[in-house]
């Protein structure tokens, strides 16, 4: 356990500067982008709802870019072990269980993704305060919606994806996060150990993830029975479990060397 703790902190130390920068961008860039978007808002202009201004300011796109950056950075930390000093050999000879090696990297990625998510949510909250103070400044406050932050959070599909308020959607979002983290690591492990057949499972997971995302981002247009999404969530968890199980096997056998 102590070995894992040390390895985890060692891994996470590589992330510190990078994730701090990502979080700073996720927190402070949306308000700045919103501010730009709100420049022409006045009592004579059409005042869109917060969630629309947020999306049109590019903040949703920004989240996607930051998300991709975090994933790319993770791959860099994995592949860096094979470049230059080839420290992967050192890792594999460390007097710790190889599971600790696997979980330290995976946990560092999960923490990184969680930090990004939280930072993005803080950015949304800050952005709403900015939006509200701007539109409250003219037209006798007629443009302010009471309880507007809550209404934006429940009405916007993107916000509901990041901050779900019902049990089935929370599980679904968690499943998406886990399958992304474990799947990404699994891709790297398969490539390193030349087990290319693993890509098929990853492709299946990606297809499922995209299906779920597509559904979650367009829920009102579905005419069928409302679904609890439990089936897809179970599949997402099962796939994550498979990625961990097989990834661990690859690491344990030293196939990744």
State which residue, 211 or 222, has the beta carbon closest to other proteins. Answer: 222
* Ranges of H-type helices in 81-138: 87-93, 98-135
Q: Distance between the two ends of the chain, CA-based, in angstroms?
A: 24
State which residue, 117 or 176, has the beta carbon closest to other proteins. Answer: 117
* Ranges of H-type helices in the chain: 2-37, 50-56, 59-80, 87-93, 98-135, 148-155, 157-162, 167-192, 198-216, 230-252
State which residue, 155 or 253, has the beta carbon closest to other proteins. Answer: 155
State which residue, 19 or 100, has the beta carbon closest to other proteins. Answer: 19
Structure tokens at 112: 């990184």
Binding site for other proteins (CB under 8 A): 6, 8-9, 11-13, 16, 19, 43-49, 52, 107-108, 111, 114-115, 117-118, 121-122, 125, 139, 142-147, 149-150, 153-155, 163, 165-166, 168-169, 219-220, 222-228
* Least Å from the CB of residue 54 to other proteins: 13
* Least Å from the CB of residue 30 to other proteins: 15
* Least Å from the CB of residue 220 to other proteins: 4
Buried b / exposed e over 220-230, threshold 16 CB at 10 Å, is eeeeeeeeebe
């Amino acid at each position: 356990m102590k070995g894992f703790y040390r390895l985890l902190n060692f891994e996470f130390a590589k992330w510190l500067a990078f994730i701090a920068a990502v979080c700073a961008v996720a927190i402070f860039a949306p308000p700045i982008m919103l501010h730009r978007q709100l420049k022409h808002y006045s009592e004579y202009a059409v005042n869109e709802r917060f969630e629309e201004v947020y999306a049109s300011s590019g903040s949703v796109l920004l989240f996607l870019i930051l998300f991709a950056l975090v994933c790319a950075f993770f791959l860099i930390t994995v592949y860096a072990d094979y470049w230059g000093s080839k420290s992967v050999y050192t890792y594999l000879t460390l007097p710790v269980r190889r599971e600790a090696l696997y979980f330290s990297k995976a946990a560092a990625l999960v923490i990184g993704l969680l930090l990004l998510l939280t930072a993005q949510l803080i950015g949304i909250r800050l952005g709403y305060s900015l939006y509200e103070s701007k539109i409250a400044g003219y037209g006798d406050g007629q443009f302010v919606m009471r309880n507007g932050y809550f209404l934006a959070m429940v009405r916007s599909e993107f916000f509901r994806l990041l901050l779900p308020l019902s049990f089935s959607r929370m599980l679904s979002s968690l499943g998406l996060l886990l399958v992304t983290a474990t799947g990404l690591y699994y891709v790297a492990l398969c490539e390193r150990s030349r087990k290319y057949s693993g890509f098929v499972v990853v492709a299946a997971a990606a297809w499922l993830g995209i299906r779920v995302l597509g559904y979650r981002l367009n829920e009102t247009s579905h005419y069928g029975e409302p679904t609890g999404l439990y089936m897809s969530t179970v599949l997402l968890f099962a796939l994550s479990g498979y990625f961990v199980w097989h990834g661990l096997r690859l690491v344990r056998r030293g196939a990744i060397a």
